[in-house]
């Protein structure tokens, strides 16, 4: 989803969800905004769902996951090829090692567990890295499976 759209939808979803959630909570205090209890319970559940949706949208927008990983890899590749210009068009182990160190500095580890990495296990393949942080790792694995 586009970052601009997320920036618009997340606060809107949060406000609407908070409003519905509060209306649902008021029903427990005998302050009724709907004609039936089931509508008030639905407002409570719907409000909570919208709040959770807003949190997920904000988290997905703030954490870069697979696209961020690709961006970090491009930065590492550019840095390695700039530092080692004579190795650029060779099968250089020096560039490979430099990219691996750089990606480790960004918080990724090299792994050949993904199918698309086993097809082409080179340091410039973004499918050969996984974030070290558990939540980022789980989301990135899901994104890699979807690709």
Span 49-70, pLDDT tens digits? 988 888 777 666 555 678 888 9
H or E element, residue 88: none
Is the four-CA dihedral 93, 97, 103, 106 of positive or negative sign?
negative
Burial of 25: CB neighbours in 10 Å, binned 0-12, 13-18, 19+: middle
> According to the model, what pLDDT value does residue 55 have?
79
Q: Which of 71, 67, 66, 62 is nearest to 7 (CA)?
A: 62
Separation CA 35–CA 13 (nearest Å): 24
> According to the model, what pLDDT value does residue 98 have?
94
Q: Which of 97, 46, 93 is nearest to 76 (CA)?
A: 97
Q: Which of 69, 76, 57 is nearest to 5 (CA)?
A: 57
Give SS3 for 112.
coil
Separation CA 100–CA 142 (nearest Å): 23
Separation CA 125–CA 108 (nearest Å): 13
> According to the model, what pLDDT value does residue 144 have?
80
Which tokens hold the place of 134?
Answer: 């558990």
Q: Where are the domains of the chain?
A: 3-62, 65-146
Distances from the Cα of 102 to the Cα of 56, 62, 74, 94, 121, angstroms: 29, 22, 11, 12, 17
Span 88-114, pLDDT tens digits? 777 778 899 999 999 999 999 999 988
């Amino acid at each position: 989803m586009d970052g601009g759209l997320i920036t618009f939808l997340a606060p809107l979803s949060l406000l609407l969800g908070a409003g519905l959630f509060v209306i649902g909570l008021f029903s427990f205090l005998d302050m009724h905004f709907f004609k039936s209890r089931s509508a008030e319970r639905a407002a409570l559940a719907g409000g909570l769902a919208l709040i959770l949706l807003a949190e997920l949208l904000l988290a997905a927008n703030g954490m870069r996951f697979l696209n961020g990983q690709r961006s970090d890899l491009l930065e590492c590749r550019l840095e390695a090829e700039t530092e080692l210009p004579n190795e650029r068009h060779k099968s250089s182990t020096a560039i490979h090692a430099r990219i691996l160190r750089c990606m480790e500095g960004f918080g990724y580890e090299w792994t050949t567990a993904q199918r698309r990495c086993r097809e082409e296990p080179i340091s410039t393949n973004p499918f050969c890295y996984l974030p070290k942080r558990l939540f980022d790792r789980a989301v990135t694995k899901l994104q890699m499976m979807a690709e």
